[in-house]
Amino acid sequence: MRKKKNPVLEQLAVNAYAAGGKSIAKVEGKVVFVEGAVPGDVVDVRLSKNKKDWAEGKAIRFHAYSPERVTPFCEHFGICGGCKWQMLPYEKQLQYKQEEVEQQMKRIGKLNLPALMPIAGSAETTQYRNKLEFTFSSKKYFTEAEIATMEMPEEGPRGLPSIPALGFHVPGSFDKVIDIRQCHLQAEPSNAIRNQLREHALSQGYSFYDIRNHNGLLRNLMIRLCTTGDLMVNLVLGEEDKKAINGLMEFLRTSFPQISSLFYTVNRKFNDSLHDQSPVLYHGKAFAIEELGGKRFKVGPKSFFQTNTKQAEVLYSITKEFALLTGNEVVYDLYCGTGSIGIFVSDKAKKVIGVELIEEAIEDAKENVALNNIANAHFFAGDVAAVCHEEFFIEHGKPDVIITDPPRAGMHEKLVNQILAMRAPVVVYVSCNPATQARDLQLLGEAYEVTAIRPVDMFPHTHHIENVVQLKLKGNP
């Protein structure tokens, strides 16, 4: 039996932004969340969900375009998952992000909230990423527009040609890779490296990875460009072909002498994750140096570092300001990653204690402490909910300030209760998901008052939002 196609609602006037890239239209009292449209568009929407008082779907036909729209700057717009919001001017993106945080905070009806401070926009709206990861594929994914212009053979099989590609995944699909010619997210020589490597590989007849059959030589390409000028490249291969690998490494080394760390990694696993793989240093130094707020950070091929370095400095400055440090405080940096927030605030604290789940990140944090000759910051690996019990706080000092920067899921409730029990006078909550942050703030409201809120835009042209909240212990002078 053929599946019935989902219903289409016609001529919907989209009139507000909701969240996560979705906008809102209303039909007969029902709220419809629309993907792919912006306020001001008039669209037909194919529903994917249809409940009693709300529905969700995708814009499939445009009757009128919003006057807010601008022409996207990227040739890959519409298919690449990267900069999905370029049809809106940056000022509008900021306005909608500010409104989204405002809405999320308003949901916390029970708390008295201060007015939001204006969102801190990113000074650079293109070339702001320090790291990009590209994927090789034996079979390029063609857009409908590309297929429409193709000449199909009159006879014989009409399948699409197999052309290798190097670029990004189509959002949500593991096997569809689009060829990227120019990406605006990273400064040169990022595009030059990717494009020249692709040409070289094709001219030499090296195979591109086939994700369905799990074979092929060239698999992934990571490029990291630091604010210091350090340039790291890690080429990931699906086969250990020594001669080919050598040829590829020599090509990169001689074509791009500015590469300061050149790695290759052989990954024969079914997934692309490198956390359990061993990158091999072919040329240069084993790590890149990133600089943020006058501090230096060692970044290895597997290390995590905030992807927008300059805007991370803005985020950390707001965090530091909200922490109200005088130099006498014991500061906890929870979910600390490689310790960058703790290190950033360490010169205004008596002591910093960082906690993070990933052991390698804690090793990086310790290296970064040594690199910056910091004596008052200490880092511990473990699950925050398990590590941060009363004895831990007593052992390392009663917290004056707790900075917490959890992943999208927000804080574990056990940790929230521990923070409530520890009664640190100031808590600074840095979040990449205002919805879970709102939930946690509600719980913290038992003992804390929200005293400042400031959204930060780390990722222009995307729907991601970062939000920093300052909380003060109630009844504390």
**Shortest Cβ 415–ligand SAH spacing (Å):** 8
Residue 281 vs 358, nearer CB to ligand SAH: 358
Angstrom distance (rounded) from CA 141 to CA 165: 8
Which residues in 228-267 contact ligand SAH (CB under 6 A)? Answer: none
Give the single-character DSSP code of 348: G
Three-state DSSP at 148 gives helix
**Whether 138 contacts 209, CB under 8 Å:** yes
* Nearest approach, Cβ of residue 340 and ligand SAH (Å): 5
With CA atoms as reference, report the closest residue to 247 among 200, 301, 194: 200
Choice among 80, 83, 226, 432 that is catalytic: 432
Of 199 and 413, nearer to ligand SAH (C-beta) is: 413
Alpha helices in 138-277 (DSSP H): 144-148, 190-204, 242-255
Part of the chain binding ligand SAH (CB under 6 A), chosen from 4-12, 85-93, 378-386, 445-453 = 378-386
Binding region for ligand SAH (CB under 6 A) out of 97-105, 260-268, 287-295, 383-391:
383-391
State the nearest-atom distance from the C-beta of 314 to ligand SAH, in Å: 12
Binding characters for ligand SAH, 164-203, by CB under 6 A (x = yes): ----------------------------------------
How far apart, in Å, are the Cα atoms of 472 and each of 108, 162, 331, 469, 477? Answer: 17, 60, 14, 10, 10
Residue with smaller CB distance to ligand SAH, 9 or 361: 361
Q: To the nearest whole angstrom, how small is the minimum distance from the Cβ of residue 377 to ligand SAH?
A: 13
Q: For ligand SAH, which stretch binds (CB under 6 A), given 44-52, 148-156, 265-273, 381-389?
A: 381-389
Identify any residues that bridge with 54 across adjacent strands, giving them in sequence order. Answer: 31
Closest Cα to residue 297, out of 468, 130, 459, 122? 130
Give the nearest distance from C-beta 420 to ligand SAH in angstroms.
18
Residue nearest ligand SAH by beta-carbon distance = 337
Taking the least distance from each CB to ligand SAH, the nearer of 197 and 353 is 353
For residues 262 and 445, give the distance between their C-alpha atoms in angstroms, rounded to a whole number.
Answer: 49
Select 45 or 315, whichever has its Cβ closest to ligand SAH. 315
Closest to ligand SAH by CB, 88 or 331: 331
In the complex, the smallest distance separating the C-beta of residue 358 from ligand SAH, rounded to whole angstroms, is 5
Q: Which of residues 278-307 bind ligand SAH (CB under 6 A)?
A: 306
What amino acid occupies position 314? V
What is the rounded CA–CA span in Å between residue 466 and residue 120? 10
Question: Closest CB to ligand SAH among 343 and 424?
Answer: 343
389 interacts with ligand SAH by CB under 6 A: no
Cα angle 22-28-32, degrees, rounded to a multiple of 5: 15
Question: What is the smallest separation between the CB atom of 435 and ligand SAH, expressed in angstroms?
Answer: 16
**Smaller CB separation from ligand SAH, 218 or 385:** 385
Strand arrangement of the beta sheet that strand 466-473 belongs to: 377-381, 351-356, 330-334, 401-404, 426-431, 466-473, 448-456
The beta strand positions in 128-239, using DSSP E, are 131-137, 165-169, 177-179, 218-225, 231-237
Q: Taking CB under 6 A as the criterion, which residues in 402-441 touch ligand SAH? A: 405, 407
Determine the size of the site formed for ligand SAH (CB under 6 A): 15
CA distances from residue 222 to 148, 283, 402 in whole angstroms, order as listed: 33, 15, 34
Q: Considering only residues 332-371, where is the footprint of ligand SAH by CB under 6 A?
A: 335-337, 340-341, 356-358, 361
Judge whether 183 counts as a catalytic residue. Answer: no
Q: Which of residues 306-325 bind ligand SAH (CB under 6 A)?
A: 306
Structure tokens given for 337: 């990653």
Around 254, how many Cα atoms within 13 Å sit in the side-chain half-sphere?
7
Active site members: 432
The footprint of ligand SAH (CB under 6 A) covers 306, 335-337, 340-341, 356-358, 361, 383-385, 405, 407
